[in-house]
Amino acid sequence: MTVAVTLLFMGATSAMAKECKLTQLAEMDMRENVNGWLLIDIGVEGKAASVVIDTGATLGMISRGFADHAGLELKPVATRTGYAGSFQDWAGNYIKHLVDVEHLQIAGSDIPGTWSFMATTDFSDAPWDDGEPVGVIGVDILRHFDAEIDIKAGKFRLFKRHFCEQNPLYWANEWLELPFRWRSIGNNLKGGMLANVVLDGKKIEATLDTGASITVLDWKLAKELYGLTPDSPGVQPLGQLMSLRDEGRHDLHGYRFKTLEFGGVTLNNVVMGLADMGKSEMLLGMPQLKHFRMYIAFERHTIYFTPK
């Protein structure tokens, strides 16, 4: 895969860049595991936990085993969220319970408030100190900040929500922008970050998902827009989506598209997964997002980024 970039916003001077004074609240080490997930270490009720940074998650998730380890009480999902719909974990299992975390620590500091994590069986059990994830941190927490994902330096940073009119990025005078909107699922819950992309000339709405180890297009769209079926030339079986265990209902195929465009970037020769995605048209995951250093301004509904 090759990347072509057009820097759309130019001309900010160094003096302008210096006028942009962001308030950094936290910086922590970030690592990528064998599944392509970006992991950070946080504290949950005083217990150390490795979690996935997941912009595709409405609420955080945590393994039921770790919840018990941290002394957290299981509560019905609807009682806490007021949401009458259903949540599912990565394994396609319906989630019926969540836990409330009163003491959530990021970079050694407590994040004020009570934070709900859905309790799931879709993560590794003990030992808890092996560096493997026991859950995810979702947009219900992240959207209270601005967030920077700096893969090259291996750093995840949180900032006070702010915007510099002259230059939104403290590390560059040229940048790209990708606007997004929230998928609303009711009761003030945010169901994902949606952005317009263009795949082989066809406009698609994609969920921007840092918790996805593969970029996936829904089979319905693949058939409608590109005439693809599992038997089409170039379509290859790839097994099943990561950690899905629900009787093969999410068989995964792969296909190489010519171009994927978003935010002024053109990616060439993009291999994309094809699977039944339900309500999502596409998940834009880490195989493509990892090429960029990103500053996510949740309140402004924009990702500012540069090639890493």
Distance CA 96, CA 74 (A): 9
Q: Who has greater pLDDT, 244 or 64?
A: 64
CA distances to 50, 230, 242 from 252, rounded to whole Å, are: 27, 10, 9
Residue, of 184 and 37, whose pLDDT is higher: 37
CB burial class (10 A; 0-12, 13-18, 19+) of residue 164? Answer: middle
pTM of the predicted model, to two decimals?
0.85
140 Cβ contact partners less than 8 Å away, ≥ 6 residues apart: 58, 59, 60, 115, 116, 189, 190
Which pLDDT score, from 0 to 100, does residue 16 have?
Answer: 43
Where are the domains positioned within the chain?
A: 28-159, 176-307
Query: What Cα–Cα distance (Å) separates residue 239 from each residue in 151, 176, 206, 273, 301?
Result: 28, 35, 23, 10, 35
Mean pLDDT value across residues 165-170: 79
CA distance 176 to 169: 10
Percent over 70 (pLDDT), the chain: 79
CA distance 63 to 127: 12
Separation of alpha carbons 46 and 122, rounded Å: 22
Expressed in angstroms, the distance from the first to the final Cα of the chain is 15
| pLDDT for the residue numbered 1 | 65
8 A C-beta contact, residue 92 and residue 36: no
Name which residue leads in pLDDT, 121 or 110. 110
pLDDT tens figures, 81-100: 555 456 765 556 678 889 99
The CATH code belonging to domain 176-307 is: 2.40.70.10
- Residues of the chain with pLDDT > 90: what percent? 57
pLDDT in tens, 118-131: 888 767 666 666 77
Mean pLDDT of the chain: 84
For the segment 252-272, the average pLDDT, to the nearest whole number, is 96
The string of pLDDT tens digits covering residues 141-154 is 999 999 999 999 99
**16-47 tens-digit pLDDT:** 445 567 889 999 999 998 888 999 999 999 99
Which H or E run contains 273?
strand 265-275
Encode pLDDT of 48-83 as tens digits: 999 999 998 888 899 989 999 999 999 988 755 555
Contact 227, 93 (CB under 8 A): no
> Would you say the CATH fold of 176-307 matches that of 28-159?
yes
What's the rounded Cα separation, in Å, for the pair 301 and 308? 21
The owner of tokens 């094809």 is: 274
Residue 9 DSSP label: B
Q: How confident is the model at residue 308, as a pLDDT? A: 80
6-15, 127-136, 287-296: the lowest-pLDDT one:
6-15
What residue ranges in 121-250 does DSSP mark as E strands? 135-137, 146-150, 155-159, 176-179, 181-184, 190-199, 202-208, 216-218, 236-240
Q: What is the pLDDT of residue 124?
A: 63
pLDDT, residue 284, reads 95
pLDDT at 244 over 60: no
Match domain 28-159 to its CATH number in 3.10.180.10, 2.40.70.10, 3.40.50.150, 3.40.50.720.
2.40.70.10
Burial 187-221, CB ≥16 within 10 A → b, else e: eebbbbbbbebebeeeebebbbbbbbbbbbbbbeb
Lowest mean pLDDT among 69-83, 99-113, 241-255: 241-255
